[in-house]
Amino acid sequence: MSSKNGKSGKDKAGKPYAFDIGNPELPEEIAEHALTSGGYPYDEELKKKVYSEQLADLQLELLKLQAHIEDKAIRFLALFEGRDASGKGSCISRFLERLNPRHARSVALSKPNEVERGEWYFQRYVRHFPTAGDMVLFDRSWYNRAGVERVMGFCTPAQTEAFLRDVPDFEALLVRDGFAFFKFYLVIGRDMQLMRFHERRHDPFKRWKITDVDLAAIDKWSDYTRAQDDIFKRTSSKLAPWIIVRANDQRRARLETIRWVLFHSDYAGKDARAVGEPDANIVGTGPTYFK
Ligand code: ADP
Ligand code: MLT
């Protein structure tokens, strides 16, 4: 049974419980299962001290990468996708935190206006692409067409289908033209999403983050699951594979997205010890990595 903006389930004793976004009290069952929901491999968050130390090391390496990108006139483009509240914004902000903002920025577009709706679908995204030496990180991207637009009915099924058909060609053009291109997909479990929505609704500092689209997502979990499956199946290409990140623990997600970029980039002065190795429990590529 599910209701508008609600979800029900059973607790450990088999007793039914209901999630109601308006109720300031979060059901204990959800809080308890949030971190391990969706088959998350760790039952504890990464310790804050370990996180802070590694983040500083990685951010220092990112500065070297940025210098290299400017020096070699590379265009760097990364996009972050994932369900509502998967933590895209927080990964991007840690990525950018220590970089020179003149040459590194995030792009989070709002819904298309009348003029944009008349353009070629990719056009409004292309306008924000990096020039030589710049880094651009997209918080959501053209994948909206196969995600939120599809699920919420903001486009037609034929438009989604055309997108799924064309996007590998579109991305191949970028990679063949020399872009450094990374596409991350953050996956979270259902209880984690509910817990984050609940926090956004009841924490005055986070209230702005919750939108009508998020509220609708509470009841559309399985529609988004289907959309996500199609995205993985149809848009992971050799030139532009999805990098799938298990993101219930935000600390690990932030570290592993930055680490992945560094690990897979060559730049002057790279300190392999500081970069470390990607955690295969958290991050991987290809359609079979996440099932
Ligand atoms: P956020 O990006 O903060 O999660 P929302 O959850 O409100 O923002 O919206 C999710 C995405 O859906 C955004 O990228 C937004 O541009 C897109 N969107 C919202 N309404 C429409 C619409 N009518 N047509 C196309 N896209 C839309
Ligand atoms: C996120 O937290 O994943 C996004 O940046 C914001 C959202 O999905 O509401």
Counting atoms of ligand 2 from 1, which one is nearest the CA of 210? 9
Q: What's the 213 CA to ligand 1 centre distance in angstroms? A: 7
Which value, in Å, is the radius of gyration of the alpha carbons in the chain? 19
What pLDDT was estimated at residue 105? Answer: 98
- Band (pLDDT 50/70/90 cuts) for residue 289 is confident
Asked whether the beta carbons of 2 and 222 are under 8 A apart, the reply is no
Q: What's the 216 CA to ligand 1 centre distance in angstroms? A: 12
Look up the ipTM and state it. Answer: 0.93
Instruction: State how far the alpha carbon of 15 is from the alpha carbons of 18, 115, 154, 237, in Å.
Output: 10, 52, 38, 45
Q: What's the 149 CA to ligand 1 centre distance in angstroms? A: 8
Mean pLDDT, rounded, for 44-71: 98
What pLDDT was estimated at residue 6? Answer: 65
Pocket of ligand 2, beta carbon within 6 A? 82, 84-89, 139, 209, 214
Residue-wise pLDDT tens digits, 94-120: 999 999 999 999 999 999 999 999 999
Residue-wise pLDDT tens digits, 157-210: 999 999 999 999 999 999 999 999 999 999 999 999 999 999 999 999 999 999
What pLDDT was estimated at residue 17? Answer: 67
**Is the Cβ atom of 81 under 6 angstroms away from ligand 1?**
no
Query: Does the pLDDT value for residue 80 go beyond 90?
Result: yes
Q: What's the 110 CA to ligand 1 centre distance in angstroms? A: 6
0.90 exceeded by pTM: yes
User: Which residue, judged by its Cα, is nearest atom 3 of ligand 1?
Assistant: 209
CA angle 205, 211, 216 (to 5 degrees): 135
Q: Which residue has the tokens 């088959």?
A: 39
150 vs 27, which has greater pLDDT?
150
Residue-wise pLDDT tens digits, 202-254: 999 999 999 999 999 999 999 999 999 999 999 999 999 999 999 999 999 99
What pLDDT was estimated at residue 15? Answer: 60
Instruction: Look at phi and psi of residue 46 and say left if phi exceeds 0, alpha if psi is from -120 to 50, else beta.
Output: beta
Query: Does the pLDDT value for residue 65 go beyond 80?
Result: yes
User: Which residue, judged by its Cα, is nearest atom 8 of ligand 2?
Assistant: 84
Residue 270: phi and psi, rounded to 5, are -60, 130
CA distance 9 to 2: 9
Instruction: State the amino acid at position 205 in one-letter form.
Output: F
CA distance 78 to 135: 8
Pocket test for ligand 2, best of 79, 80, 86, 211 (most atoms within 8 A of CB): 86
Asked whether the beta carbons of 242 and 146 are under 8 A apart, the reply is no
